Amino acid sequence: MAENNVPKAIQIIDIDAYSPPQIATRIDKVAALKAKLSFAQTFLLGILAGVYIGIGAQFATLVISDSTLHFGLNAVIAGIVFSLGLMLVVIGGAELFTGNSLMIMGYVSKRISTRDMMNNWIIAYTGNFIGSLTMVYWMYNAHQFEFFHNMVGAKALLIAHTKVNLPFKAVLARGVLCNAMVCLAVWLCFSGRSVADKVLSIVFPIGGFVASGFEHCVANMYFIPMGIVLRSNAAVVAAAEKMAGKTLDLSQLTWKGFFINNLIPVTFGNIVGGVVLVGIVFWFVYLRPHISVSLNVKQDFFNENK
């Protein structure tokens, strides 16, 4: 009977967001898990990521195709709906080259080798490209570009046209800033304990980069090829010129223009933004050996005194 009077220990469930040191540790461990994926797993998940980002890109194109709102508000709406792509990647599970820039934290911590990291990046990037082109194929055959008297196609064409005609320095800088925000979105996701946490973590950084006009290499694997296939459609070109209020010079909207003018510099910029501005900085702050020990002591003290 005496035993029945002994109070049982109460299990406390921590529902607070993970702290920055805990986020860094989680990403460090995830880098090691990603490095263990087989070629087939990484490749197929890379294709899915390309498809997911393409879904977000076509969604954004559709929503703003006939909008008459103020430029800034229009851009914000496009950014919010585009964030669907990263939600599918993070919550649904896929390998996105730009987000995987954070694997640099595991590399610097010596959890993974140079070969592990480069294998993941190359395979995921290739898969992303194939997945994005798959979405171009399906969206073209769905004839969505004909909606609203070809206005959806016209907007897609204008987006692609603008991207291949940006100056090199602007493309590079926008690539750096873009992936800094993408990796910050992923960083915030690692603080969450629920799907709702992750969704809210994604919306503002991704919405912000899209609205700001920054350049994402995987998104452009959909946007620009979609424009390239639409440039041969006379009705779409006519609608785009009417929308732009001028005759368009589409000479740069080619596969060469895509790779040279946009994809290569954007990819390099994305690597710098994700690796240097986010991954290396957070590793330096939270995961350096003597720093991480100090932060762990502080975290233990905080947990004990909640």
Q: Establish if 41 belongs to a structural domain.
A: yes
Q: Establish if 38 belongs to a structural domain.
A: yes
What's the number of domains the chain is made of? 1
What is the span of the domain harbouring residue 156? Answer: 18-290
The Cα–Cα gap between 56 and 222 comes to: 10
Q: Establish if 3 belongs to a structural domain.
A: no
Q: Establish if 129 belongs to a structural domain.
A: yes
**pLDDT of the residue at 3:** 56
Which residue's structure tokens are 């430029």? Answer: 71
> What is the value of pTM for the model shown?
0.90
Q: Establish if 170 belongs to a structural domain.
A: yes
Query: Domain containing 108 — which CATH number?
Result: 1.20.1080.10
**pLDDT of the residue at 160:** 98
Q: Establish if 183 belongs to a structural domain.
A: yes
The Cα–Cα gap between 298 and 286 comes to: 12
- Mean pLDDT split into 10-residue runs, the chain, 306 residues: 56 73 95 96 98 98 88 92 97 96 96 96 98 98 95 97 98 98 97 94 96 97 98 96 95 98 98 98 90 54 46
Are the beta carbons of 182 and 274 closer than 8 angstroms? yes
